[in-house]
Structure 1
Amino acid sequence: MRITLVGPAYPYKGGGARHTTELAHRLAERGHEVVIESWRAQYPSLLYPGRQTIDVPEGELFPRTRHDLAWYRPDGWWRAGWRAARISDLTVLAVFSPVQVPPYLGVLAGVGRGGRTVALCHNVLPHEPGPADTTLMRALLRRVDGVLAHSPDQAHLARGLVLGTDTRVGMAEMPPHLPETNGPVSAHPEGVRHHLLFFGIVRPYKGVDVLLRALAQGAPPRVRLTIAGEFWGGSAELRSLAADLGIADRVEFREGYVPAAELSELFTGADAVVLPYRSATATQNVWLAHAHGVPVIATRAGTLPGHVRDGVDGLLCAPDDAADLARALTAFYAEGEPQRLRDGVCPVDPDPYWDDYIATLTETGRPTG
């Protein structure tokens, strides 16, 4: 099959760019002809306050990648769709935010009737939706031939938005697409460090405020926490909360994007990674922690319970419940428990996930009947 992927690639950073690039490589390995239509300006800085690009690639680049799309050039949206229609059987739109809907409608106008189209939804609707998000996503999903969602709940949302149309909705779990780190994996040092790690973009739905309250309630007094990642809207509110809880001296705020070269040191310095999400669709952070031999304490949100084996390679607790998370932190630091859970950690095998993912994507994009 000839496929055009429309989505971020290097120099854009983070999991979205890695996913698009890894998907291109995996499709090409299976004999598909693949082109990436990427961005040279993906979002206005007003809508994405963090740093959008990086200087050093965090994985193997895909050679057939164009960087012509810009949020302020509608003519470029149409041209990307027109090119895709001429060279591809299937055009796949990587959807991260309703902000992308206008450009993607422009791409679809360029495709016209020249090929099949699939919206690959990292989130069907945002975790923190705005007033126009449902209308925008409905407009997009009703214009494509297929939707690929990453969890049963997300697939259910998508089916509601395309009700009454012929749009096909497929579901496959997001496969592993971890950054290439400079350092050994699965080589966590022995001993208890009394150090926990939260890693990733800090947004309200991630529940970092819940983690701070749980740390104050239930973790042994020696335990410290590092919060590492970009803070959506700044860290002032969380810093104030830590001070009010009397734990400011136990919390390190490491603000900003963490390059792949620094991940090994960050992860192997922690006894556990804590993911206190209020809600979730898919995350790579359980697999990233396990790749470094680190157990995970997480909530039963989204796909997290499927990645963390409770009592084997981590612990699970209720979402948005500081008392239950405090219970899990206390249980984790019971005598011998950090080492026992560390011994249960196994790195993920990505191949079965990718086999299922690509089969579902290509099937979702095939004509019906």
Structure 2
Amino acid sequence: MSKRMRIALIGPLPPPAGGMANQTIQLAALLREAGAEVELVRVNPPWRPRWAARVRGLRAALRLLPYLWRLWRAAGRTDLLHVMANSGWSWHLHAAPAIWIGRLRGKGVLVNYRGGEAPAFLAHSARLVGFSLRRAHAVIVPSAYLAREFAQYGVTPQIVPNIVDLQRFFPPPARPALQPTRRAAILIARHLEPLYDHATALNAFVLVRRALPHARLTICGEGPELARLQARVKALMLQASVQFTGKVQNTDMAALYRKTDLLLNPSLADNMPISVLEAWASGVPVVSTDVGGVPDLVRNGVDGLLVSPGDADGMARAMLSLLKDATVAHRLADAGLASAQRYSWTSVSPLLMAQYRRVLKRPMQSGYTALVSSLLFPLHEWIKRHDSTAVRRRMDRTQWWPQPHIEALRLQRLRDLLLHASEHVAYYRQQYAATGFDAGRVRDLRDLRSLPVLYKADINNRREDFIADDAGHMQRFTTGGSSGEPLIFYLGKERICHDVAAKWRATRWWGVDIGDREAVLWGSPIELRAQDRWRARRDRVLRSELLPAFDLSPARLDVYLERLRRRRPAMLFGYPSVMCLLVEHARSRGVALDRLGVKVVFVTAERLYPEQRSLLGAAFGAPVANGYGGRDAGFLAHECPEGGMHITAEDVIIEILDPQGQPVAPGESGAIVVTHLASRDFPLIRYATGDVGALDPRPCPCGRSLPLLKSIEGRVTDFVVAHDGTVMHGLALIYILRDLPQVRAFKIIQESLDCTRVLLVSVNGLPPLLHLSIVTQFRARLGASVDVVIEEVAAIPAEASGKHRYVISKVVST
């Protein structure tokens, strides 16, 4: 852990040595070994006085008040409450109070819900449970089974499996050959409760003994069923072959597993039994009932055998198939041993730590930031008739949906977009007719490939045909990025508010929010003129300050450093190249930036190089979060604290294509093609961004189901250097050309301080007055004596890499 976490771990402790109690004590030890400071808050202390245990109402009251006091104090000393939760009264008396006390004390709350009886409990108490559960900052469950159960009630938990200690549980050095003439040792390691159906297991054992008279059954655990089960053993005349061990400490269970030939789990309801994991790790084959979450854990015939609950005959047949056939038993045991590796601390800890960081990085819910994010900014968006707040709240939920649910959402939204385009957008009506495309027959996201790729030239040539005939108010924009041909296009309120929501959601991933102090290194002289009084006042309310990136002279950088020192922003946002230049300047001045209190550095609009990430992270003492997108294509992807570059999948479909327009294999690089699902007013369907990138097929440890980008290889924009040595961002020159209707494409090449060439593709030739205007504006930025040579060409050649670049500077800044 990079920072010492202070965790209050709330749950039962042995005795009794049940699965949750063992997991609680084991987790505490593992977290401490990982560097965390853990305070245990026990929910099942010994009864004092002992006679109180026999009076149900009294015993609950005697335990509850001291528990609440210990919980209140622990919450004050820690940063995060990890609540081990179960069904029934345990939830109401232990878990729910922990959630509310954590929230009252302003601490992060993670609920770790477990227990195979959750379906019945939720069906009976869903509203009451959900009322508290939704106040937790994160909910984790150990199995896909429980995740599905909770999803039915509008809760999307993340799966963090149970842990098995591979240092304690391991196979014997020499595995004995399983032969009927030797031993047939069967083990059941569950509490003696009706839920675990030991009675059926005894009936099955009778059938086993008919084939293997020497078979032995060991039943570990204690519980209210002991007397009844002992009587049943006596009635079946099994006293010599059935042993009740009583309570066995978890430290002693490992030796017992290594003397066992088969584990039997006869449960009537179950989630993710620890005994199965321990048996696997010990090299013991498993027979289990196929209840609850067990089929998600055990693959029938692969790493275990599954039977129906209450089926003594089926249970006996499964056990005999292993006890009589050493080859099958060893095959299942080996597969189980391999499966156990997935539940080691090494495998599980990254998932748990990601959820801890998610909770600890939550935006603050108090102070001026909370006022802005929950009231003032939503009011600002409402006045503009934007649905950004509602969209962001939906995105906060959908990011945790299972991937099939996200894909279903995308497919439905794609159908809606394609059908709307066929009815209201002239360009697509003609495209559909020319290709025979039927939007009503779209059944899969891959059906989108029937449409041609859309290029900037297609839009520029027929711009008016892309405007929907039912479009509302739209704003005109021009691309000013670093790749491809400049594009003039329009955005409606739907697209704008979805982009705002996507950026807002990603911002909150890092523990900051709208209303936190922000410094933005961005813009150009043209964009600065758009900062009217209304916007300036709005930015003051939102505590956002613009530091123009076009003039980066040493004097200007000194001013920026002073403004950062005074403002102490929680977050920075801007071009990575500009921020790196600022860092280098600060170092030359001996100015430390790691004491400003910056929590995160957001970078976008350019490719982020590893050395830039290292430089910025070290200088500001804060993580660097990369973002990818553009005004034309939308807010496409953003990096989460676990390093995953998450695509805004609710709004965006990204394809990676080869030069022939065919999809590349997952993980391979190709052209990035985007369909934005919130662009009905001016649809961009299969739009070629001009960038190169790759998808990442691996899941992110953070638990978000949003797909990932593996790499983004476009968006490179150089600095240019004025004749007097002033360094400015290349966009300062790009903005001069990008909005000119007579200019179709361009490339700026700064050959030296004295000469800059402009390759330019014009429409019907460049008028003399416009030629003079461009030269004058370039000289105003680069210097009056600089020779600006404009060369009109038929096309702009690509770089050797296949990429396009607006600006290439051959001048080394000093």
TM-score under structure 2 normalisation?
Answer: 0.37
Alpha-carbon distance in 1 for matches of 2:324, 2:132: 50
What does residue 286 of structure 1 align with?
276
Q: Does 1:147 align with 2:139?
A: yes
Alpha-carbon distance in 2 for matches of 1:12, 1:123: 16
Q: Does 1:34 align with 2:38?
A: yes
Question: How many pairs are equivalent?
Answer: 342
The Cα RMSD (Å) is 3.8
Alpha-carbon distance in 2 for matches of 1:129, 1:46: 25
Instruction: Flag the structure with higher helix content.
Output: 2
| Structure 1 unaligned spans of 5+ | 49-69
Instruction: Describe the SS at the equivalent of 2:139.
Output: strand
Q: Does 1:324 align with 2:328?
A: no
Which amino acid is 2:190 matched to?
G
Q: 1:4 touches 1:35 (CA, 8 Å); kept in 2?
A: yes
What does residue 162 of structure 2 align with?
174
Higher RCO by CA contacts (8 Å cutoff, separation 6 or greater)? 1
Alpha-carbon distance in 1 for matches of 2:333, 2:101: 53
What does residue 122 of structure 1 align with?
114
Q: 1:202 touches 1:230 (CA, 8 Å); kept in 2?
A: yes
Which amino acid is 1:174 matched to?
N
What does residue 643 of structure 2 align with?
none
Alpha-carbon distance in 1 for matches of 2:27, 2:269: 25
Q: Does 1:21 align with 2:25?
A: yes
Alpha-carbon distance in 1 for matches of 2:55, 2:255: 31
Q: 2:115 touches 2:270 (CA, 8 Å); kept in 1?
A: no
Which amino acid is 1:237 matched to?
R
Alpha-carbon distance in 2 for matches of 1:242, 1:130: 36
Instruction: Describe the SS at the equivalent of 1:147.
Output: strand
Alpha-carbon distance in 1 for matches of 2:167, 2:85: 20
1:226 to 211, 217, 220: 217
Alpha-carbon distance in 2 for matches of 1:4, 1:239: 40
Query: Are residues 108 and 278 of structure 1, via their aligned partners in 2, closer, same or farther at CA, if it must alter by over 3 Å?
Result: closer
What does residue 363 of structure 1 align with?
358
Q: 2:144 touches 2:293 (CA, 8 Å); kept in 1?
A: no
Alpha-carbon distance in 1 for matches of 2:151, 2:203: 37
Instruction: Describe the SS at the equivalent of 1:3.
Output: strand
Which amino acid is 1:114 matched to?
G
Alpha-carbon distance in 2 for matches of 1:329, 1:206: 17
1:205 to 191, 195, 199: 195
Alpha-carbon distance in 2 for matches of 1:281, 1:24: 22
Query: Are residues 361 and 156 of structure 1, via their aligned partners in 2, closer, same or farther at CA, if it must alter by over 3 Å?
Result: farther
Q: 1:196 touches 1:223 (CA, 8 Å); kept in 2?
A: no
Alpha-carbon distance in 1 for matches of 2:98, 2:319: 48
Residues 81-110 of structure 1 deviation map (CA, whole Å, 9 limit, x = unaligned): 433443333212111343332244444454
Q: Does 1:267 align with 2:257?
A: yes
Which amino acid is 1:122 matched to?
R
Query: Are residues 314 and 270 of structure 1, via their aligned partners in 2, closer, same or farther at CA, if it must alter by over 3 Å?
Result: same
Residues 170-218 of structure 1 deviation map (CA, whole Å, 9 limit, x = unaligned): 222222247947x984554344302212122122222322222223335
Q: 2:88 touches 2:121 (CA, 8 Å); kept in 1?
A: no
Instruction: Describe the SS at the equivalent of 1:354.
Output: helix
Query: Are residues 321 and 287 of structure 1, via their aligned partners in 2, closer, same or farther at CA, if it must alter by over 3 Å?
Result: same
What does residue 176 of structure 2 align with?
189
Cα drift, residue 5 of structure 1: 1.5
Between 1:250-259 and 1:122-131, the stretch displaced more is: 122-131
Q: Does 1:346 align with 2:337?
A: yes
What does residue 216 of structure 1 align with?
206
Which amino acid is 2:350 matched to?
D
Query: Are residues 78 and 336 of structure 1, via their aligned partners in 2, closer, same or farther at CA, if it must alter by over 3 Å?
Result: closer
Q: Does 1:237 align with 2:228?
A: yes
User: Which is higher, the Rg of structure 1 or of structure 2?
Assistant: 2
Q: In the TM superposition, what are the counterparts of 1:76-115 in structure 2 within 5 Å?
A: 76-100=66-90, 101-111=92-102, 112-115=104-107
Alpha-carbon distance in 1 for matches of 2:133, 2:253: 36
| Structure 2 unaligned spans of 5+ | 363-395, 397-507, 509-814
Instruction: Describe the SS at the equivalent of 1:298.
Output: strand
Alpha-carbon distance in 1 for matches of 2:33, 2:65: 33
Cα drift, residue 328 of structure 1: 0.9
Query: Are residues 209 and 173 of structure 1, via their aligned partners in 2, closer, same or farther at CA, if it must alter by over 3 Å?
Result: same
Q: 1:295 touches 1:313 (CA, 8 Å); kept in 2?
A: yes
Residues 288-314 of structure 1 deviation map (CA, whole Å, 9 limit, x = unaligned): 223333221222234434554544554
Which amino acid is 1:299 matched to?
T
Alpha-carbon distance in 1 for matches of 2:144, 2:314: 26
Instruction: Describe the SS at the equivalent of 1:327.
Output: helix
Alpha-carbon distance in 2 for matches of 1:106, 1:310: 40
Query: Are residues 288 and 79 of structure 1, via their aligned partners in 2, closer, same or farther at CA, if it must alter by over 3 Å?
Result: same
Cα drift, residue 255 of structure 1: 4.4
Cα drift, residue 281 of structure 1: 0.5
Alpha-carbon distance in 1 for matches of 2:326, 2:300: 16
Alpha-carbon distance in 1 for matches of 2:81, 2:318: 45
Q: 1:197 touches 1:270 (CA, 8 Å); kept in 2?
A: yes
Q: 1:98 touches 1:133 (CA, 8 Å); kept in 2?
A: no
Alpha-carbon distance in 2 for matches of 1:322, 1:90: 46
Alpha-carbon distance in 2 for matches of 1:85, 1:261: 31
Between 1:170-179 and 1:204-213, the stretch displaced more is: 170-179
Which amino acid is 1:23 matched to?
L
Query: Are residues 148 and 248 of structure 1, via their aligned partners in 2, closer, same or farther at CA, if it must alter by over 3 Å?
Result: same
Query: Are residues 155 and 76 of structure 1, via their aligned partners in 2, closer, same or farther at CA, if it must alter by over 3 Å?
Result: same
Between 1:131-140 and 1:147-156, the stretch displaced more is: 131-140
Which amino acid is 2:213 matched to?
R
Which amino acid is 1:120 matched to?
N
Cα drift, residue 254 of structure 1: 0.8
Cα drift, residue 45 of structure 1: 3.7
Residues 207-249 of structure 1 deviation map (CA, whole Å, 9 limit, x = unaligned): 32222222333551414342422343233433444455x4525
